[in-house]
Structure 1
């Protein structure tokens, strides 16, 4: 008995012994201010060590690693296999049916793409099978952004099945983790939510296939040991550049570590891979800040303007979009009148929205004509070219709306090509917004969409803007093109097909402005955005709702890309009446446009709007290319919201303040400004001034030091009052 007890004691002791792992090499991916560190052990494990502030010396990472059988070390790309029990980034089934994969480090290479971008490639191999998993990292130095993606290929004797292939993995160790994510619905996108992560797994995911960002956006913030603050604290950020099903998993284990796995959603998406074929994941975009989440936003904004947005250096034109002005009920004279009004107000781009096409099935309502991209001659007898030429003669540019991925049952296209519709077997292809989805996994459909775009643009050399919409999800999915054994490839192949069309069109029309729209903000993600100049953040144009929507959106996406329009009162979506000044002041905080019938503007309001349009032209370089500073969240309990933009050389700033509720006569708003030079002198000018001045500071000069430590007092007491101040450097 005593021998048994001794044996049991020695067994338990051995199971808790700390095992040393010798580090033979440290690897790093660096930007100007951050670094991601991995270590290679003597057994060729690739261990995730650190992501955070840049370190001058990595020697300490070479000390022996300690682990127990109950606490394995976090690997750089966790697979299903070994002793770890976290959600894997990689899960596959080999050709012989084995479901395990253990990855070992093979080699690393780093290349300077240019003075600002380095690319690091870490190659890994399975310990027992001929499989290559390659981690790719692009480090954008000045922007403090790291983009990661993964490729997988193999040389097994048969096909392998990949059930989960994530784009990126993040391992953190702290006392507490606060997750900020963004959720909502149609007309209520990008709602800010923050929560303390507790033991277990928190998942944010979508299986909608199309418009996957509308109700849950594939971006997030992790703040450690406290809620995310704007200008203090450690914050990690991730945004998945993918326009289809995705999954973000946050697993808080008994060790206190947080494991984040992000990538394509594995739901009904097993990929069968033949020997020699390579599969590539979408990019996961990472950033870190030691100085709060506003720095994260600035990192993403700078990066996207330079690398993830078409024409990021160009100023965006002021747009009048026809939708809320006339909807589909228009004729040629009505459109000519809108063009006249656009020119009269100083607008620079007129966009004709839905309803201009369809022959056999005219597009007079949303139930017909979609897919038949010929001009409705009854509405527009002289065609699109006539309207575009007329606009140019009036001194403005011309654009058109299209929705080439979709088709109405009542259309010539649906009658001619029923095999192009997404459907499966004997099951019904359900309608959503009276339309079906075209199967972009099919190269023939891809060619049709590309030709549709070509044909539309060819209607006039004066078409300089396309609004690309997508107004439904994917359900009851299936493809008559994909073979039976690869129906689960649909989500991946559809999105790759879409991106292939985007890329061809962008290469073919490099100067065209293309807006990304998907029932509003259904495709606000960096997978699609790099092919577009801007996006429509929401079909909800109500200024109060837009403050909240654009607040959430601003965490990852820059003002230059956020279409923000002056709309009618009462608003068409909410029925809420709002003062014109408030509606204008909110719209000016993004890419300014108009979404109303200009003839509804009367009297002195005409002068006010014209002046606001001209003022925006004078300050838009600051708003569209400047640094954002969020000052007061609309989610705070004070019923205020404020933000400002500061030029890169700190010589000009635009400051927006909104009152969202009643404030008694003893209350006033003041906020310490951000981003100015303390040694410069700034003259304050109130723009879009209403019947009374909002501040006695107007016309005065202040040192930047004073403005950033004391602030400016504003008298905005009533609901939906607002102020916009311009700060300009003076000698």
Structure 2
């Protein structure tokens, strides 16, 4: 017996020695960021480092964590339920034979450079130690943007169906003395509010189970300040992540007894049990990571660059300035009202007119939100001239034309609901709850996908002059049930609805690559990179009140570039908050994003129209910097002094635009805004935009970038709603 034990120990020792001898590092990196893993055949893949670039990671081959194997878990790349994992698992499955354990062992890996020389993709192949069950871990590195994305491809080779309970896109262990979590929370009309939390031991989750319109209350994005309890724009080590998924999501942060923060990110497993049949592969959505030693600002700029270059449809094409009909006309319009609005939009220098809700439905006319949704025929009583008449009129006036649709939804009072009750998301014997008097169509059903594509396609055929589609979605998914899904696969709905949406969008983009499309979703309901893969912009919030928008746009900017943030000037008192704000302040807030207007121009005075023309003309002069420049936030709209600014700096640093705001009464305090991101040696001439005459001592003068960053400018703000826009251009000093 002793000899047998000795021989077994010898075999185990030899096997361990062989595995150690075959260990290799997998070095995934960008210009400034490294993700380093260690692997050997028959072993788990360990994640050793995510952070600043390490030019020579070879010494990490000998790295030891000194964790106690009976109590602690090693930092593996994709932890599973099974083996010695004591953390929440990235993957939890029940195998065909009832086995609850999964232990993924390394097989091989390969790295390939994609057609874009800036991008490399590394695929790590793993398989279970016992079952015919594989997982590929895929990492894509974007060198210049300093972004690494990751997802998992889960493949079933067993003789039956494997049940997936949890299937996150990624797991990321981080090591620091402290972890300050920054994330977004909120509600409808109050989205993207910023919250900072110093993480303590245990778990904290950011999640959504809304199915559709998932980002009102939470956003699938985060920043972590490492080693500090202070959020800083310009300095400190920051890791940022954001999930490209338009359905239920979950980000989990588990701080363990070894002071390691384990991050799981992906589809929310709650109620989403997935039956993976033999021969099938399940691909998780992409999780996007970046790292910065330049604080939150550096992390944001990395994500913005990646978004414009890879994550957003037409990421280098700004939307024209526009007038939307909704807050100005709502459901009450005819052709004359619309053409008058087009005339007014053209006179103010706007570039597009968008016809919002209310243009469709005949048997059940869309005169309010209680009827007609789903019946996408032009309302003959309201618009007997047809859509082409309105669109052609806009084009004749030099404007582009856009139109509103909500193709995923249906009113019970509609011909569609009467004809296809089986297309509605509901469970037999249960009443489907209404939201905004409407129900949800089952996009997991291919027939519904065909219908939704057809709505878009037929709308585009209403006129050759349609340039823009506003795609709305005004309810969440709840009390779900699908007549298309099998009885034992009802939980697939949560995933296959989102996949169905993407299938529709892929068809649309194949046929209509140049049409501008906005993801509206009751305002901030689809603000994430899963949607932005197909959409040009998001409607940042249904709340258009400028003071509230300062915080909404600030929070959104942490992860998403100004290129996608639709930001409109609306009436006062504001329809959402009742607040009264000066027109200049409203424009100065809106011009920090994709500027538009959301009102009835007929109700404006001549002085207001003239002010609007001036602001719109000024915006066109610097719009390219806002859309494509580097963002530097100067303070925050949460600061106690009530002063806040943002600067967009052109990539060549020859031009910049600074937006400065007073969000509360200042008394005798004069704010100073120090402008980062400029070239220290370049002389910049300062010109205030959107004014009649100069207001400040530095108007028209030139200063070098060093002085502007270290000494700054001090506009004499004293009252709430004081604001200014400064254009900085390289030129001769005086």
**Fold equivalence (TM over 0.5):** yes
Q: Is the 8 A contact 1:210 1:243 kept in 2?
A: yes
* CA distance in structure 2 between the partners assigned to 1:694 and 1:418 by the alignment: 63
Q: Is the 8 A contact 1:423 1:478 kept in 2?
A: yes
Q: Is the 8 A contact 2:41 2:108 kept in 1?
A: no
SS at match of 1:698: coil
1:218 matched residue in structure 2: 220
Q: 1:86 to 1:694 in 2, by over 3 A?
A: farther
2:698 matched residue in structure 1: 697
Q: 1:481-520, CA deviations, whole angstroms, 9 ceiling, x for partnerless residues?
A: 1111111101111110000001110111011000111000
Aligned counterpart in structure 2 of residue 673 of structure 1, from 660, 675, 685 = 675
Aligned counterpart in structure 1 of residue 133 of structure 2, from 106, 131, 144 = 131
Q: Which runs of 5+ in 1 are unaligned?
A: 1-18
SS at match of 2:708: helix
2:68 matched residue in structure 1: 68
1:204 matched residue in structure 2: 206
* CA distance in structure 2 between the partners assigned to 1:195 and 1:275 by the alignment: 43
The answer to whether the aligner puts 1:102 opposite 2:103 as a matched pair is yes
* CA distance in structure 2 between the partners assigned to 1:675 and 1:706 by the alignment: 12
Instruction: Write out aligned runs for 1:478-627 (5 A).
Output: 478-627=481-630
Q: Is the 8 A contact 2:311 2:533 kept in 1?
A: yes
Q: Is the 8 A contact 1:371 1:407 kept in 2?
A: yes
Report the Cα offset of residue 221 of structure 1. Answer: 0.6
Instruction: Write out aligned runs for 1:383-398 (5 A).
Output: 383-398=386-401
SS at match of 1:399: strand
* CA distance in structure 1 between the partners assigned to 2:68 and 2:60 by the alignment: 18
Q: 1:228-272, CA deviations, whole angstroms, 9 ceiling, x for partnerless residues?
A: 211111111110101111111000111111100011011111111
Instruction: Write out aligned runs for 1:406-421 (5 A).
Output: 406-421=409-424
The answer to whether the aligner puts 1:149 opposite 2:151 as a matched pair is yes
1:721 matched residue in structure 2: 722
Higher mean C-alpha deviation, range 57-66 or range 382-391: 57-66
* CA distance in structure 2 between the partners assigned to 1:45 and 1:703 by the alignment: 54
* CA distance in structure 1 between the partners assigned to 2:25 and 2:255 by the alignment: 26
Q: Is the 8 A contact 1:228 1:235 kept in 2?
A: no
Aligned counterpart in structure 2 of residue 243 of structure 1, from 243, 246, 249 = 246
1:31 matched residue in structure 2: 30
* CA distance in structure 1 between the partners assigned to 2:614 and 2:419 by the alignment: 51
Q: Is the 8 A contact 2:28 2:141 kept in 1?
A: yes
* CA distance in structure 1 between the partners assigned to 2:74 and 2:99 by the alignment: 24
2:231 matched residue in structure 1: 228
Report the Cα offset of residue 205 of structure 1. Answer: 0.8
Q: 1:548-590, CA deviations, whole angstroms, 9 ceiling, x for partnerless residues?
A: 0000000111111100111111111111000111011101100
Q: 1:284-339, CA deviations, whole angstroms, 9 ceiling, x for partnerless residues?
A: 00011111010111111111111111111223210111111111111111111111
SS at match of 1:677: coil
SS at match of 2:164: strand
1:656 matched residue in structure 2: 659
SS at match of 1:398: strand
1:13 matched residue in structure 2: none
Q: Is the 8 A contact 1:680 1:729 kept in 2?
A: yes
Q: Is the 8 A contact 1:223 1:235 kept in 2?
A: yes
Q: Is the 8 A contact 1:242 1:525 kept in 2?
A: yes
Aligned counterpart in structure 2 of residue 296 of structure 1, from 286, 299, 323 = 299
Report the Cα offset of residue 693 of structure 1. Answer: 4.5
Higher mean C-alpha deviation, range 594-603 or range 438-447: 594-603
Figure out how many residues of one structure are paired with residues of the other and give that number. Answer: 711
Report the Cα offset of residue 534 of structure 1. Answer: 0.7
Q: Is the 8 A contact 1:111 1:120 kept in 2?
A: yes
Report the Cα offset of residue 22 of structure 1. Answer: 3.7
Q: 1:49-94, CA deviations, whole angstroms, 9 ceiling, x for partnerless residues?
A: 0001111101111115243222231111000011121010000000
1:14 matched residue in structure 2: none
Instruction: Write out aligned runs for 1:241-390 (5 A).
Output: 241-390=244-393
SS at match of 2:168: strand
2:429 matched residue in structure 1: 426
Q: 1:590-635, CA deviations, whole angstroms, 9 ceiling, x for partnerless residues?
A: 0110011112221322211101111111110111111110011001
SS at match of 1:201: strand
Q: 1:662 to 1:64 in 2, by over 3 A?
A: closer
The answer to whether the aligner puts 1:87 opposite 2:88 as a matched pair is yes
SS at match of 2:109: strand
* CA distance in structure 2 between the partners assigned to 1:514 and 1:106 by the alignment: 43
Q: Is the 8 A contact 1:22 1:42 kept in 2?
A: no
SS at match of 2:216: coil
Q: Is the 8 A contact 1:22 1:63 kept in 2?
A: no
Aligned counterpart in structure 1 of residue 690 of structure 2, from 675, 688, 691 = 688
* CA distance in structure 1 between the partners assigned to 2:558 and 2:510 by the alignment: 29
* CA distance in structure 2 between the partners assigned to 1:89 and 1:546 by the alignment: 36
1:473 matched residue in structure 2: 476
The answer to whether the aligner puts 1:59 opposite 2:58 as a matched pair is yes
* CA distance in structure 2 between the partners assigned to 1:254 and 1:607 by the alignment: 63
* CA distance in structure 2 between the partners assigned to 1:544 and 1:694 by the alignment: 23
Report the Cα offset of residue 42 of structure 1. Answer: 6.7
* CA distance in structure 2 between the partners assigned to 1:604 and 1:265 by the alignment: 52
Report the Cα offset of residue 41 of structure 1. Answer: 4.5
RMSD of equivalent CA atoms: 1.2
Q: Is the 8 A contact 2:190 2:541 kept in 1?
A: yes
Q: 1:112-167, CA deviations, whole angstroms, 9 ceiling, x for partnerless residues?
A: 00210001101110001111100111111100011111111121111100000000
Aligned counterpart in structure 2 of residue 195 of structure 1, from 175, 197, 200 = 197
Q: Which runs of 5+ in 2 are unaligned?
A: 1-15
1:643 matched residue in structure 2: 646
